[in-house]
Structure 1
């Protein structure tokens, strides 16, 4: 019996996806619920599991193709049908042997792009170095490099022909060799240079997530009147509290005490006082949010994702730290759900973990504010009339100036600064 593998429902408003990577190949045995293929949406990467145990018999959609919900991706054979799969796999070595006559697998997408750029036919590379003899972009680059000497001399031949018609009747044998050498134009090195550059370039299609990130960030710039204001904060009090209680905190709650819990709490205190930073513009209306869903930007190999801490004002610092740790792990594994990244009212981005000293974060539309954290470093400051070294951090608030005035933005940052420099404010909610 053959079982179809279809694109599952991927979440609200998601109607299509891109086939990212097949984790199995035809003939492989699979178990029920074992991941078969990765699908990239505009928000997350989703793994499609095997609907039953058996053998992957067919792949209908190649990597990089765009598919709609319900599209058949491939077929799974179980029972008696699975027994026929080894016969299909036995023909693969024969395909590799016949690749020179064009019967092997088609070139990879990158190789096809290189062939098109170089103006070569698909069969110009007879032997590929990929699996089952597939032609890869490296094989095309090698073939182009071999053709480069001939291309470089071609302009010379074209220029010599008209020169014979206008030359003097003197026989070519009587012209000194040095004179003939001067008459021959130098090869057009531009051809060779372009071939060399093509061999060192790699063209990769943007993932669906990266395309969405690019679109949304540019949309935020085009829509909002975006402005950034800065302040700095002395982290001495937070660092001292963390050093004093981090071991007890970890034993009690089973999670490490970091800085994000303090920043989330400080931002919520500031958002309560400056509600415009927690609001958004909807047409001609301003929508004030009387709840606090704080997004926390997480960098992954696939791009930036922003999972949301829902009802963050009702969470303890321990709950915030535990949730952020879970978000980070699942984001790197590509296991965040779409629902977990929707509905945020304010965002915090921590570029300091990568060493950033100062930056201007871009709004996470339609939100009206985003706080940028940066690295902590010892800097000289004046305290009580004396110059002393303190662990300082720059803070940046990017905001939509259509909704948030400069005074409100500055006040917001001052409140965050006050809370971090005097953490007892969290307890007293001051």
Structure 2
């Protein structure tokens, strides 16, 4: 009896995943727990493991396909086992498939018919077909059904898409040898537009894609669509800016003693701790003392969080990701340093799990390594505050009647003014400053 491979629901907010690549091919022997394919969900890449032993009988979802969660993307079975027509649309039900003989598809011999409707007037279609049609703006009533019982199937939606392409997009595709069959159209009823070709092939010169509507822009320029991680970041940052009225508070912490302590830990006990580790620990301790900062808005209520999960912004080549250090207040500085290094490394490699970027209660964003002296960090919704860490400068200060060279770190705290007043934020920021200026308190 064949076993389904489904698109996993890796996180409460996940609705669909993109297949990045299959790690196994049809016909290969599979061991339970062995990585089968890699998928992309939100900003995280993850591997899907084999649910059982056997042979990879069939791959349904192809690389680049966006598949709804819990929908079937392949089958594992016994060597020599065959599947019937039902295997093409595995998401229709959860019952296991019976062993049958594969029947070749002969669309020419099976007359097409319009999809029938039930007693409520609803057009019969498979769940995946409905999803694809909805995403591509195609009305089911315009499609011809090829299903065994008159239902519209996913291939009917794809056939509709392949036949719909604007004349300009067609000319560009022909000139650049682009296979339009593999492109998902974003126009009305799934029609392929020139913008869809740009997303498929970013190297198409701008003068080609503008064709008859030349705007006088220079040759050699290229367009890049707002898509993938960049699109997600854009949507979330705009949402945060529109939802939360921000107030940013700036101060400087004298980290001369912290610099000396960091050096001593490195040379005397071989403990490599970054400035960011000390900042994260200081934030976690301050949140213990000021729970009015560890809050978020949920509809008409203010939720006070007991757990202290600190997000750490990590810059990637094409965007930003925020792995979350769970219960940061309970970790020693050594444990915290190991955790931040591990999460940052796996974040840059795209190997974080969805659970490792969720449920943060406060975020720290460090731009100090880029010599940034002050900035306005944007709140990572649904959190209510974020701390920006700036560069360390040397300044001359009067200390007990003497002028000394001190190391000063810039700190920029942005708070959601709906739930955190300026005075509350200032008190919280001052506590972080005090902890950084007296680093032994962080260790103890």
TM-score by length of 2: 0.65
Q: 1:26 to 1:341 in 2, by over 3 A?
A: closer
Higher relative contact order (CA 8 A, sep 6+): 1
Query: Residues 136-180 of structure 1: CA distance to partner in whole angstroms, max 9, x if unpaired?
Result: 8489659959x98xx8xxxxxxxxxxxxxxxxxxxxxxxxxxxxx
Residue 92 of structure 2: aligned partner: none
- Note the 1:15-414 alignment, pairs <5 A: 15-19=15-19, 21-23=20-22, 32=31, 35-49=35-49, 60-74=60-74, 79=79, 118-121=168-171, 124-125=174-175, 137=201, 144=208, 191=214, 193=216, 197=219, 200-204=221-225, 206-207=227-228, 209-250=229-270, 256-301=272-317, 303-414=319-430
Residue 220 (structure 1) shift: 1.7
Residue 97 of structure 1: aligned partner: none
| Structure-1 separation of matches of 2:389 and 2:378 | 13
Looking at CA atoms only, which structure, 1 or 2, has the larger radius of gyration?
A: 1
Q: Secondary structure at the match of 1:277?
A: coil
Would you say the 8 A contact 1:118–1:144 is kept in 2? no
Would you say the 8 A contact 2:202–2:223 is kept in 1? no
Q: 1:407 to 1:37 in 2, by over 3 A?
A: same
Residue 157 of structure 1: aligned partner: none
Residue 232 (structure 1) shift: 0.6
| Structure-2 separation of matches of 1:192 and 1:284 | 49
| Structure-1 separation of matches of 2:177 and 2:297 | 59
Would you say the 8 A contact 1:59–1:75 is kept in 2? yes
Would you say the 8 A contact 2:205–2:222 is kept in 1? no
Residue 420 (structure 1) shift: 1.1
Residue 2 (structure 1) shift: 7.8
Could you tell me which runs of 5 or more consecutive residues in structure 1 were left unpaired when the two chains were aligned. Answer: 83-111, 130-134, 152-189
Q: 1:417 aligns with which of 420, 425, 433?
A: 433
Q: Which has the higher helix share?
A: 1
Q: 1:383 to 1:304 in 2, by over 3 A?
A: same
Residue 191 of structure 2: aligned partner: none
Would you say the 8 A contact 2:23–2:38 is kept in 1? no
* Aligned CA-pair RMSD: 3.9
Would you say the 8 A contact 2:202–2:222 is kept in 1? no
Q: Secondary structure at the match of 2:259?
A: helix
Q: 1:258 to 1:56 in 2, by over 3 A?
A: same
| Structure-1 separation of matches of 2:223 and 2:56 | 31
| Structure-1 separation of matches of 2:7 and 2:293 | 39
| Structure-2 separation of matches of 1:241 and 1:294 | 23
| Structure-2 separation of matches of 1:138 and 1:261 | 39
| Structure-1 separation of matches of 2:278 and 2:202 | 50
Residue 365 (structure 1) shift: 1.7
Would you say the 8 A contact 1:125–1:140 is kept in 2? no
| Structure-2 separation of matches of 1:139 and 1:277 | 47
| Structure-1 separation of matches of 2:380 and 2:316 | 17
Q: 1:15 to 1:371 in 2, by over 3 A?
A: same
| Structure-1 separation of matches of 2:344 and 2:404 | 36
| Structure-1 separation of matches of 2:403 and 2:437 | 18
Q: Secondary structure at the match of 2:261?
A: helix
Residue 397 (structure 1) shift: 0.4
Q: 1:200 to 1:427 in 2, by over 3 A?
A: closer
Could you tell me which runs of 5 or more consecutive residues in structure 2 were left unpaired when the two chains were aligned. Answer: 83-161, 180-196
